[in-house]
Amino acid sequence: MAKRTLIGTLTFCMLLGVAGAASARDLSDCERNGSQARLAASAAKTEQQLVAKAPARDCPDLSAEMKASTPGRANPANAVPMPRSPSSATLPADVSASSIIHAKDFTVLVKRPENATGETLVLLHGSGGDETTLMALASRIAPRAVLMGIRGRIVQDGKKRWYKRITPTQFDQNDIRSEANAFANFLHGMVTRRMLDLDHTTFLGYSNGANLLAALSVLHPGLIERAILLRPMSVLDKIPDVSLSGTRFLIVAGDTDQTYAPLAPALEAMLRGHGARLDIHTIKANHGLGNEDAKVAGEWLARSTAVSLN
């Protein structure tokens, strides 16, 4: 009997030891992940990728600790108030049924060439793209410009986007305005921290990203001075009565882009009607991008930059 009791006690102690080791291993893994996150946040110099990641499963959330150790950022004086996001009950049926993830922050990737000029290209991807998608094209358009790729905050049915979609040509109006406001705040913050000079910045958007830029230009007039819009359309149902007299646009449509090319003239009329200066090109292409886009955009940007410097 005593022997059985002794064996049972030893077995119980061994189980406690294994459980303790497993707990220690899990905690050390979490601490190591936290250390790597802190190192990654401070390491990037010439090429930066700022990504907000959720903590590993069963790990303590280190985000509050990291925020507490980061110096506070002053809110820009001209920050735009963020409207409330609509609840799923108020959205059309096909939108509320979609899988939608809304990130808190914009992810940014910056590439600076060795012989960089003072010009910056801010890149807004199309549906399903990310902050890297337009880098190769942009480096051909402006080889010596600093490239700043930005990822939209919406993921709908697995695809990264700039705002919620209802159909291929209809979009959630509240979400367009909410995301435009968030992006405007983001840009003001970059300017405040002297990470961006809007007088020497050209925005380059493709499809969904181009549409956000067009909406941003009328929702926040004066924020964009030059923009290249590739395969765009007008997405706002109601257009504010604003002046775009200080804004220049290059619009490039594809002649075989059956869905979106027919919608480009409405956007052109809207921008021109608000005083914007437009250069419009229709090239032999579908909705995809190619060599002709790089050629047309590069020549236009060279002329626009020269005009701005004079």
Count Cβ neighbours within 10 Å for each residue of 241-270 and write b for 16 or more, e otherwise.
eeebeebbbbbbbbeebeebbebbeebbeb
CA pair distance 199, 308, nearest whole angstrom: 9
Per-residue model confidence (pLDDT) at position 97: 54
Note the pLDDT of residue 289: 98
Lookup result for tokens 């979009």: 171
Q: Region 234-257: what's the mean pLDDT?
A: 97
Domain definitions of the chain by residue range: 1-39, 91-309
Q: Which of 206, 204, 209, 303 is nearest to 253 (CA)?
A: 206
Cα–Cα distance, 147 to 60 (Å, whole number)? 35
The pLDDT assigned to 305 comes to 78
Which one has a higher pLDDT value, 86 or 310? 310
Average pLDDT along the chain? 78
Examine the pLDDT at 79 and tell me if it is beyond 90: no
* Res 65 pLDDT > 80: no
Q: Using one digit for the tens of pLDDT, what is the confidence trace for 254-307?
A: 999 999 999 999 999 999 999 999 999 999 999 999 999 999 999 999 998 765
Which three-class secondary structure state does DSSP give residue 194?
A: coil
More confident residue, 49 or 178: 178
Residues 194-205: pLDDT tens digits? Answer: 999 999 999 999
Whether the per-residue pLDDT at 53 is higher than 70: the answer is no
Q: Is 104 exposed, middle or buried (0-12, 13-18, 19+ CB in 10 A)?
A: exposed
Given a cut of 70, whether residue 157 has pLDDT beyond it is: yes
Strand intervals (E) in the chain: 47-50, 100-102, 107-111, 120-124, 146-151, 154-156, 159-161, 165-167, 170-171, 201-206, 226-230, 248-254, 277-283
For residue 263, give Cα distances in angstroms to 132, 257, 268.
Answer: 27, 10, 9
Per-residue pLDDT tens over the stretch 177-196:
999 999 999 999 999 999 99
Percent of the chain with pLDDT over 70: 67
Question: Is pLDDT at 44 greater than 50 in this prediction?
Answer: no
Average pLDDT of 69-74? 36
Could you tell me the pLDDT band of residue 310, with boundaries at 50, 70 and 90?
very low
**CA–CA dist 176, 36 (Å, integer):** 35
Type of residue numbered 248:
R
Full-model pTM: 0.70
- Taking the mean position of all CA atoms in its chain, how far away is CA 26? 33
Domain range 91-309, CATH class: alpha beta
Most confident of 4-18, 87-101, 181-195: 181-195
Note the pLDDT of residue 11. Answer: 44
Higher pLDDT, 40 or 256: 256
The answer on pLDDT for 2 being more than 60 is no
